[in-house]
Structure formats: structure tokens, C-alpha cells
């Protein structure tokens, strides 16, 4: 009789555990997934560029580069205005770039490295000719605002276009690694 009671108790425990776990298909919440507009980009660390007639010209902290970053990251998307284009961090860890949702462009993948770090692997379609990986650090999401820092490689031609009509001296580096603080607003 004791053996039968023990078996019955074991079966009841298994049933209780099984029944209590039914319907608990917990959906994993991906903290950073969403659609984001680049609303601010500022130089986060001073750097110098050699400008003809000026010598080494310092680009100081908090210099706004929003338009340049929007152009660099969203140039592959045909859109009438930068504020209408946005980046989609999808729950399947893909990145798409869109213009008001029309014809989204597959731009690569992303990874949530930690609670404060993202890795964006932008493919060659998003950033020709070879794509680039961007590590975004010090990531904070507060309501609909996502902020973080990254280092963006700017080719010499890109820097020259930003400072036009001034020109770069011949001694200008082929690539400038510029630390940027970014602010995204979730749509």
C-alpha cells in the first residue's frame, strides 16, 4: 500500500509540474528591437584635420555631425528626407533600413553583446563597397530614446565633402576614425 501511495504521489507531482508549465511559452523580449530614427550625432572626442590655409583644424567635442551620419548610414535608402528614413533592429537580429516603411533594405545583422553594448554588422548593400562592423558602447535605452557611442571610419573623401569649399592638405590621412555619440528616437 505504501508503494502504491508513493507511486501515486510521484505521478501527481509530475502532473502538477507539467500542468503548471503548460501555457508558459514565454516570449523573449529583445530590449533593443524596434524602428529608430537618427536624431542626433555629435563628435565625442576631439580630432584634427589638416585644412589648406588653416593647418591642423580641430574638430571639437559636441560638434554636430547628424546630417553626415544620416547620409553615411542611410544613403543606400532612396528617401526624400533623412527624417523619414530609419533603421529597423528586428527581433530576428536582422537590420533593415527603410523610408517610411517602403521597400526596406536588408542592411545586415545585429547582436546584443551585453546590456550596454550592441554590434551592428552593416553589409555591403548598406555601406558600399564592403560594409562595416560598428560596436556601439555605453548603450542606454530610456523610454523611446536610445543613446550610445561608436567609432565610425570616415574616408578622406567623406571628410573633404564635409569641409567643402575648404580643402584638405595632401597630408590628410586616408581614413579618420571618429568617435561619435549617437541618439536614436524610436518610432
What's residue 80's pLDDT? 74
Up-side HSE of residue 60: CA atoms within 13 Å toward CB? 0
**Gap between the Cα atoms of 24 and 59, Å rounded:** 54
Q: What is the pLDDT of residue 27?
A: 52
Output the pLDDT for position 6.
41
Burial class (CB in 10 A: 0-12, 13-18, 19+), 112: middle
> CATH class for domain 27-186?
mainly beta
Q: Residue 40: its pLDDT value, please?
A: 94
Model-level pTM? 0.76
How far is the C-alpha of 80 from the C-alpha of 72, rounded, in Å?
A: 15
Question: Parallel, antiparallel, or unpaired: how do β-strands 132-142 and 94-99 relate?
Answer: unpaired
Q: Parallel, antiparallel, or unpaired: how do β-strands 47-51 and 85-89 relate?
A: unpaired
pLDDT for position 26? 52
The set of cell numbers assigned to 119 is: 554590434
Domain boundary assignment for the chain: 27-186
Per-residue confidence in pLDDT tens, the chain, 187 aa: 444 444 433 343 343 444 444 555 555 557 899 999 999 999 999 999 999 999 999 999 999 988 888 877 777 777 777 667 889 999 999 999 888 867 788 999 999 999 999 999 999 988 888 889 999 999 999 999 999 999 988 889 888 888 889 999 999 999 999 999 999 999 8
Compute the distance between CA of residue 147 and CA of residue 156 in angstroms, rounded to an integer.
Answer: 27
pLDDT score for 76: 74
| pLDDT number for residue 12 | 37
User: For residue 155, what are the β-bridge partners?
Assistant: 175
User: Which residue from 69, 72, 74, 71 is spatially nearest to 95, judged by alpha carbons?
Assistant: 74
pLDDT at 43: 94
Predicted confidence at residue 14, as pLDDT, reads 42
Q: Is 89 exposed, middle or buried (0-12, 13-18, 19+ CB in 10 A)?
A: buried
Amino acid at each position: 500500500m505504501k508503494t502504491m501511495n508513493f507511486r501515486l504521489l510521484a505521478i501527481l507531482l509530475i502532473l502538477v509540474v507539467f500542468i503548471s508549465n503548460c501555457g508558459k511559452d514565454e516570449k523573449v523580449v529583445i530590449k533593443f528591437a524596434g524602428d529608430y530614427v537618427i536624431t542626433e550625432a555629435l563628435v565625442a572626442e576631439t580630432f584634427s584635420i589638416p585644412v589648406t590655409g588653416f593647418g591642423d583644424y580641430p574638430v571639437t567635442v559636441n560638434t554636430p555631425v547628424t546630417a553626415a551620419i544620416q547620409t553615411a548610414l542611410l544613403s543606400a535608402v532612396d528617401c526624400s528626407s533623412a527624417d523619414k528614413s530609419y533603421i529597423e533592429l528586428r527581433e530576428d537580429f536582422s537590420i533593415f533600413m527603410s523610408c517610411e516603411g517602403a521597400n526596406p533594405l536588408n542592411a545586415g545583422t545585429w547582436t546584443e553583446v551585453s546590456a550596454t553594448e550592441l554590434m551592428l554588422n552593416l553589409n555591403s548593400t548598406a555601406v558600399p563597397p564592403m560594409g562595416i562592423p560598428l560596436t556601439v558602447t555605453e548603450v542606454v535605452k530610456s523610454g523611446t530614446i536610445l543613446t550610445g557611442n561608436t567609432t565610425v571610419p570616415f574616408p578622406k573623401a567623406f571628410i573633404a565633402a564635409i569641409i567643402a569649399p575648404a580643402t584638405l592638405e595632401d597630408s590628410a590621412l586616408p581614413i579618420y576614425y571618429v568617435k561619435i555619440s549617437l541618439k536614436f528616437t524610436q518610432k
